[in-house]
Amino acid sequence: MHGAVLGSKHSREDYNAVMNYARITPPSVKENYVDIAGGDSSIDLTEAVGGVVFEDGKISFKFTLFCEKDKDRMKNDLHGKRLKITLEREPDFYYEGRLSFTGESMLGTLYELNLDARVKPYKMENQITIHEEEINAPKDILLINERMPAMLTITARGNIKVTYEGNSYELKTGIYEIPEITLRDGLNRLHVSGDGSVRLEYRKGRII
């Protein structure tokens, strides 16, 4: 039976809880429509700010526990906290959100707990994607990203020029996070030149 890791706590190992289910509700699109007075349809401004954005998603859990002490301890440890959530059935990803216990019941000698997690709209890869290049001549670097926009962490050594989407940045030895260098869904192209090396790091995320 699959379980879940909620922050530093494991549902089965720490509470002897059986996870009956973890049901995921995808995030809604933040839609923006403007009505055309006296005309058909409406103007869709959903992507006017540069792309589709989303509401939070939700994971609904149901756990069965075998003693009242474990049930009370689980509620006390987790209720109201914002935590990293990993489902054992998806070991390569994690979610991030706030936990709320929404109900409990008793079935014979067993206890049932209902838990909702309001989570970010993306499930993130546990492993950070890393790309390293030695730079001694101009070259293009191609990076593939998932649906979640991902700002690069760039570690530069030497004197490096990075061009992305028509904008150029002169980098000396150091670590940089430049909001304008945020990877989009699909293939992203960076043009680099100069003398030295670059290390590019980012975390991919998929729509839940």
| Three-state SS sequence of the chain | CCCEEECCEEHHHHHCCEEEEEEEECCCECCCEEECCCCCCEEECCCCCCCCCECCEEEEEEEEECCHHHHHHHHHHHCCCEEEEEECCCCCEEEEEEEEEEEEEEECCEEEEEEEEEECCEEEECCCEEEEEEECCCEEEEEEECCCCEEEEEEEEEEEEEEECCEEEEECCEEEEEEEEEECCEEEEEEEEEEEEEEEEECCEEEC
Average pLDDT rounded to a whole number, residues 22-44: 87
Instruction: Give residue-wise pLDDT tens across range 54-112.
Output: 999 999 999 999 999 999 999 999 999 999 999 999 999 999 999 999 999 998 999 99
Dihedral (CA of 115, 86, 187, 183) sign: positive
Instruction: Give residue-wise pLDDT tens across range 147-206.
Output: 999 999 999 999 999 999 999 999 999 999 999 999 999 999 999 999 999 999 999 999
8 A C-beta contact, residue 131 and residue 143: yes
pLDDT at 1: 61
* Domains of the chain, residue spans: 4-125, 129-207
Under the banding of pLDDT at 50, 70 and 90, the label for residue 48 is: confident
- Return the CATH number of 4-125, one of 1.10.8.50, 3.40.50.970, 2.40.30.200, 1.20.58.1610: 2.40.30.200
CATH superfamily of 129-207: Jelly Rolls (2.60.120.10)
Torsion angle of alpha carbons 112, 21, 204, 119, nearest 10°? -40
pLDDT higher at 31 or 6: 6
8 A C-beta contact, residue 54 and residue 120: no
pLDDT at 124: 98
